[in-house]
Structure 1
Amino acid sequence: MKRIPSALLLLATATACAQEPLYTAKDLTKENMFSTNIEGPNFDKAGNLYVVNFLKDGTIGRISTKDGSGEVFVTLPDSSIANSIQFTSKGDMLLADFKGHNVLKVDMKTRKISVYAHSDRFSQPNDLCINSKDQVFASDPNWKKSTGQLWRVDKGGKVTLLAADMGTTNGIELSPDEKTLYVNESAQRKVWKFDVDAQGNISNKRLFAEFPDHGFDGMKCDKTGNLYLTRYGKGTIVVLSPSGEQLREIPLKGKSCSNLVFGGKDGKTVFVTLQDRKCIETFRVEVAGKKF
């Protein structure tokens, strides 16, 4: 059998990726591989994909981006259930534990789980984003009352309330330059933006976008600052420019899109968690995520 030079194989793979249609959703995993609380996809520095609630609630799954297979990476203690995953600059995994009112930390080498931050004033840490100083910003909705709060968690787990008296705060994301914080309210269908100073304090709240129907969930920025927002119930990802202009809307196969993350070697593959299908869909984009 004639062997094909590795350089040609790499070129063929790159060409195939380049020819893959943009903004066209396809399945990565099979349906029903997760619980209905599938959420919080994120990558570690080595390119491994982690997603909460693999097979059942209370787990973190490690998912192959090649064939969609998965394994349980850790099972959370004390009936905790995670909703979001972020990684610190040192590589520790942080989890929004909405059941235990915690932000949990997972040592990726030992897989030991500890409480990184806790407050009795948390309703339920829901979604997280993190800056280059390892300051964590957390949305904290009270679904029954349709209200919400915003918190900052500094190194060591110190918590600071940044904003109260909001709607049902859900998706949260920093702009690439970390000077703008975006927060959406699911029930109110509004996206707000705040200025962020060097200490991680927020100010100058103003309305960024508003929609007449369907809910919101997670959201992420690309390198140019465009915001990819899940339209929960509609089954689309809407892309908004830094000025709030709607650039496009990407249809998915499922309807209950809960969160997304940019990944792949070039950062131009978007991975979306679907709660109705209990699986992960992907699509290709033109601009890489902000971390690439």
Structure 2
Amino acid sequence: MDIDVKQLEPTLFADGFLFLEAPKWQHGQLWVSDVFDHKVHALSSAGQRVKTINVVNRPSGLGFLSDGSLIIVSAKDRKLLRFDGTSLGDYADLSDHAAAWLNDFAIDPQDRVYVGNFGYDFVAGEARKPTSLHRVDPDRSIREVASGVDFPNGSVVIDQGRTLLVAETWEARLTAFDIDADGELSNRRVFADLHGRQPDGICADAEGAIWTGIHNTGEFIRVLDGGDVTHRVAFEGSGISCTIGGADGRTLFMTAFLGTGDDMADGKRNSAVFTVGLEIGNEIMP
């Protein structure tokens, strides 16, 4: 529920993109997937494009391993790719495991990747159906770790690697799992019922609160375990995804699409990155 929600005013950071997903801050740069443009960009601290990686089968989720290499979802062929700073190569092939296009993922402190997929042919208008989460271990082995998940989207690991949070977009909720020492998931529970707000990408702050972009209302909200909303940023369009970074670890980077679904379908470059300063940032900034 919303009680004394603090309204924050965003500042434009970078624009001119088609549809930006999965921002991640690493070593002074913001990395983003421009899904419909088939590119991953690194943006400088001033918002300038300093590196571009082409991903022909539609990039989506991004995340960094402990060695600093970048993992990229290649959605349509259901692969994870690895960029080592110079070259792009395959990391894991989930085409025999995932029911549909890959979406987003989270990486735990042991470099285990928890990845979701659409579960059905969303683009073709196939009827909704639940799907599974898969874990890719550092040895590249793949196993199913949860089933019956409804359109798993943005994901984040919190509590020093003990909890996985997943946005179930169409169910308008954030779902939590315990992670044990072997990377197995248990104790599935509702972290927050968002009462019709459909969460897309998510990130966590140092207090374990979750920031999420809201697909259907254009908001970004900060939500606590149990569902209380404390902060809000509003846009006219779609709230997509977010991350916390910047030089002091207290900047929220938000990707939004400003406009309608028709604007998106027409290929208008209305997707942009915005920022707000936070009182509560990340615990540790790489």
User: Aligned in 2, Cα 1:261/1:162: closer, same or farther, shift over 3 Å?
Assistant: same
> 1:57 maps to which residue?
37
Cα offset, 1:22, TM superposition: 8.3
* 2:88 pairs with 1:113: yes
Are the aligned partners of 2:7 and 2:231 in contact in 1 as well (CA < 8 Å)? no
Looking at structure 2, the residues matched to 22 and 166 of structure 1 have their Cα atoms a distance apart, in angstroms, of 32
User: TM-score, normalized by length of structure 2?
Assistant: 0.85
* 2:112 pairs with 1:139: no
DSSP 3-state at the match of 2:135: strand
* 2:106 pairs with 1:129: yes
Are the aligned partners of 2:175 and 2:191 in contact in 1 as well (CA < 8 Å)? yes
> 1:171 maps to which residue?
154
Higher relative contact order (CA 8 A, sep 6+): 2
Cα offset, 1:24, TM superposition: 2.0
> 1:90 maps to which residue?
67
Looking at structure 1, the residues matched to 218 and 21 of structure 2 have their Cα atoms a distance apart, in angstroms, of 15
Structure 1 unmatched ranges of 5 or more: 1-20
Number of aligned residue pairs: 261
DSSP 3-state at the match of 1:170: strand
Structure 2 unmatched ranges of 5 or more: 1-5, 259-269
Q: Equivalent of 1:289, from 271, 279, 282?
A: 282
Looking at structure 2, the residues matched to 252 and 62 of structure 1 have their Cα atoms a distance apart, in angstroms, of 25
Q: 2:97 is matched by which residue type in structure 1?
A: R
DSSP 3-state at the match of 2:249: coil
Could you list the per-position Cα deviations for residues 87-133 of structure 1 after superposition, in whole angstroms to 9, with x for gaps in the alignment?
Answer: 1111110011111100111111x2x1111011222222211111111
Could you list the per-position Cα deviations for residues 127-177 of structure 1 after superposition, in whole angstroms to 9, with x for gaps in the alignment?
Answer: 111111111111222233422321111013211111122211111111132
Structural mapping, 1:10-89, within 5 Å = 23-30=8-15, 33-36=16-19, 38-44=20-26, 46-53=27-34, 57-66=37-46, 68-76=47-55, 79-89=56-66
Are the aligned partners of 2:201 and 2:240 in contact in 1 as well (CA < 8 Å)? yes
> 1:213 maps to which residue?
196
Are the aligned partners of 2:193 and 2:227 in contact in 1 as well (CA < 8 Å)? no
Task: Compute the RMSD of aligned alpha carbons.
Answer: 1.9
Looking at structure 2, the residues matched to 129 and 289 of structure 1 have their Cα atoms a distance apart, in angstroms, of 16
Q: Which has the larger radius of gyration?
A: 1
- Of all paired residues, the percent bearing the same amino acid is 23
> 1:157 maps to which residue?
140
Q: Equivalent of 1:273, from 231, 255, 263?
A: 255
Between structures 1 and 2, the one with greater strand share: 2
Q: 1:251 is matched by which residue type in structure 2?
A: V
Cα offset, 1:217, TM superposition: 0.4
> 1:258 maps to which residue?
240
Looking at structure 1, the residues matched to 25 and 195 of structure 2 have their Cα atoms a distance apart, in angstroms, of 33
Cα offset, 1:238, TM superposition: 1.9
